[in-house]
Amino acid sequence: MQRRVLIADDSGIARKAICRLMASGGFSVCGEAEDGREAIEQARKLRPDLIVLDFSMPIMNGIQTARALKQITPDVPIILYTAHASSVLKQEAFAAGITSVVSKDEETFDLVTEAGALLGVPQQGTEAFALCAQASFSHAKPEAARDAVNFAMSSPRMSYHEGDHVCTLFVSPEEQLVAAVEYIREGLARGERCLYVCCDRGQDEFREALRHAGIAVDAEEARDALVLSTKHEGHLQGGSFDPDRMIAMLQWALNDALRVGYTGLRAGGDMSWLLDEAPGSEKLAEYEARLNHFFESNHAIGLCMYSLQRMPPAILDHCLATHKFVRMEGPILLSNPFYELPEDAVSRAAKPAGVAQKLRHLHSLRPSKPLRLQARHRPSS
């Protein structure tokens, strides 16, 4: 008989991925919760064999929830699955009755392994799975592979390459939609999992645009090749922005994509959530600068979409400083001369006065003749 697990995480993306992961380990997910209060209600009703809690949840965080759960189901083990697994947090967690703390920064199989150990469910093939995952998630690329990825990067091109971190600068909603659909279509064709955070355009509107472009949206979502979320499930979980939390979510999404056989993660999103001016939004430059390391050292690609009409010059200046490539006025990626090294950009101050001149210079870099699609790898000599 399968052991039953209750999952509590305020991110729908994370819950779906954790459910798949637990199912792959032979567990049955009996319930899901979006916050601590719902987790308590579900535990009282379902009586699971194991509870997996995120730490950062609305209403009640993971530790507060665990204290309450221990009054209801004292014998049920609890795993805190979190991106904030510091030594101080672990001490507080154990004092609250949490059985184990697993970091979301670790490989995904660690959660299944820990669940199996707590419930006495052996995990067949764990060592082989770990070796395969470690090889896939390695942060070090061979020099030959890096040479292939970087080939012809200094010239305008039309296709996205692994390791890219690109900003799309758009004027109209129609231009944004064309760029997003083009990006997703290419990723699906390459066998990548495509994660897109909708903002001004809702999920249903974006689905219709994808269908109009000939993409089988229902089928792609059913096999989890296409994952659409909102700003409240992505950048603004809990009403604030936290670079650590967002990068941990991307790392989790990447690890899960590779684990189930996708070639990598293609992440993209509408950055208009910045206009909400939520707490933490001032960390934009830090976040975008750190993403360069994330994408360069993983099987991943990132596209951040900024409105030239709505974004303040200070935000656009941070955008130009933190993306190696810019897509503007059509399907051409330009090498960005205003890009700053991440170690410099992470704490930079915005220089909004020079943005208009930078944009004019980028416009001048566009080729006068149409480009042909370039090969993704260096041709053999």
Residue 91 has pLDDT above 90, yes or no: no
Closest CA relative to residue 246, chosen from 304, 207, 203 = 304
Task: Pinpoint the residues of the chain covered by CATH 3.40.50.2300.
Answer: 4-136
Determine the pLDDT at residue 192: 95
Under 8 Å between Cβ of 253 and 13 = yes
8 Å CB contact between 241 and 280:
yes
Using DSSP's 3-state secondary structure scheme, residue 295 falls into helix
Residue 318: pLDDT over 90: yes
Pairing of strands 193-197, 265-270: parallel
User: Start-end ranges of CATH 3.40.50.300 in the chain?
Assistant: 148-365
Query: Can you name the residues that pair with 301 across neighbouring β-strands?
Result: 266
N- to C-terminal Cα distance for the chain? 58
List the structure tokens of 121: 């469910």
What's the CATH class of domain 4-136?
Answer: alpha beta
The mean of the pLDDT values for the chain is 84
pLDDT tens for residues 288-301? 999 999 999 999 99
Q: Is the pLDDT of residue 127 over 60?
A: no
pLDDT tops 70 at residue 46: yes
C-alpha dist (Å) from residue 137 to 211, 242, 259, 295, 299: 32, 23, 9, 12, 8
The residue with tokens 């909708």 is 198
- pLDDT tens readout for residues 191-216: 999 999 998 778 999 999 999 888 99
CB-CB contact of 52 with 6 (8 Å): yes
- Model confidence at 323, pLDDT cuts 50, 70, 90, reads very high
Cα 38 vs. chain centroid, distance in angstroms? 25
Give the predicted TM-score (pTM) of the model: 0.64
Q: What's the pLDDT score for residue 381?
A: 34
Tell me the average pLDDT across 115-136.
Answer: 58
CB atoms within 10 A of CB 19: 18
d(CA 3, CA 157): 51
Tokens of 150: 């970087």
Higher pLDDT, 7 or 380: 7
Under DSSP, the state recorded for 12 is H
Nearest to 77 by CA among 121, 14, 35, 17: 121
Burial state string for 106-142 with b = 16 or more CB within 10 A and e = fewer than 16: ebbbbbbbbbbebbebebeeeeebeeebeebbeeebe
Q: What is the pLDDT of residues 164-183, one digit of tens each?
A: 999 999 999 989 999 999 99
Give the HSE-up count for residue 9: Cα atoms under 13 Å, Cβ half-sphere.
22
Is pLDDT at 135 greater than 70 in this prediction?
no
CA 224, CA 38: separation in Å to the nearest integer? Answer: 25
Q: What is the mean pLDDT of residues 135-142?
A: 35
Q: For helices 109-119 and 12-24, give the axis angle rounded to 10 degrees.
A: 60
For the CA atoms of the chain, what is the radius of gyration? 22
The fold adopted by the segment(s) 148-365 is Rossmann fold (3.40.50)
Nearest C-alpha neighbor of 51 from the set 35, 68, 64, 69: 69
C-alpha separations of 306 from 6, 22, 274 in Å? 38, 37, 10
In this prediction, residues 123-149 reach a mean pLDDT of 39
Helix axes 109-119, 126-137, angle to 10 degrees: 160
* Sequence-distant (≥ 6) Cβ neighbours of residue 35 within 8 angstroms: 8, 10, 57, 58, 59, 60
Whether residue 137 has pLDDT greater than 70: no
The more confident residue out of 238 and 12 is: 238
Mean predicted confidence (pLDDT) in 20-44: 92
Q: What is the pLDDT of residue 367?
A: 67
pLDDT at 241: 96
pLDDT value of position 15 = 85
**Residue 350 pLDDT more than 50?**
yes
